[in-house]
Amino acid sequence: MKCLSILLIDGDEIERAKFQKVCKDVNFSCVVVEATSGEQALSYLNGFENTVNVIILDLHMPEMNGLRFLEKLKSNINYRNTPVVIMSNSEDYADLEKCYDYGIVGYFNKPTDFNAYSQKVKSLLKYWQQNVFVN
């Protein structure tokens, strides 16, 4: 399997730790960069030679929410083709519609049960390791 570079954007430290735990449990040895806000993620992406294969994005974050981040990301020619998967607690159908309007490739609610969460993240990692990216 190829090595992925994932940008995980979530303002909740526990959620980031859960994602990292699943990666460790499945020996996912590729790069997972964490950002706690949309601003921090944009700063990272605008850094010299920072390439990301997949972005995992929460919608509810301090300062710049996930929808605003998507708007900025998709307006940037360098990142408009970067796949974004929403991983959120939001069950607002309007949020879902807006996310797909911005071109996300997937959306799932974070299960409260860790085993269910772990299964979803493992499937996500496996899926993206088997795909070809346009950069």
CATH assignment of the domain containing 51 = 3.40.50.2300
Q: pTM of the predicted model, to two decimals?
A: 0.91
Is a pLDDT exceeding 90 seen at residue 105?
yes
- How would residue 2 be classed by pLDDT, with cut points 50, 70 and 90? low
Give the count of alpha carbons within 13 A of 15, CB side only. Answer: 21
* Assigned domain for 116 exists: yes
Q: Is the sign of the CA dihedral 67, 70, 72, 74 positive or negative?
A: negative
* Assigned domain for 40 exists: yes
Measure the CA–CA gap between 51 and 95, rounded to whole angstroms. 27
User: Quick one: pLDDT at residue 47?
Assistant: 80
State both tokens at 12: 């909740």
Q: Could you tell me how far CA 59 lies from the centroid of its own chain?
A: 10
Any idea which residue has 């605003």 for tokens? 68
* Assigned domain for 134 exists: no
DSSP secondary structure letter of residue 6: E
Measure the CA–CA gap between 120 and 131, rounded to whole angstroms. 17
> CB neighbours (10 Å) of residue 120?
16
Name the domain count of the chain.
1
Is a pLDDT exceeding 80 seen at residue 133?
no
- How would residue 6 be classed by pLDDT, with cut points 50, 70 and 90? very high
Range of the domain at 63: 5-129
DSSP letter for each residue of 86-127:
EEES---HHHHHHHHHTT-SEEEE--SSHHHHHHHHHHHHHH
- For the sheet with 106-109, list strands across it: 31-35, 5-9, 54-57, 84-88, 106-109
* Assigned domain for 135 exists: no
- Range of weakest confidence among 3-17, 96-110, 121-135: 121-135
For the residues 67-80, what does the mean pLDDT come to? 90
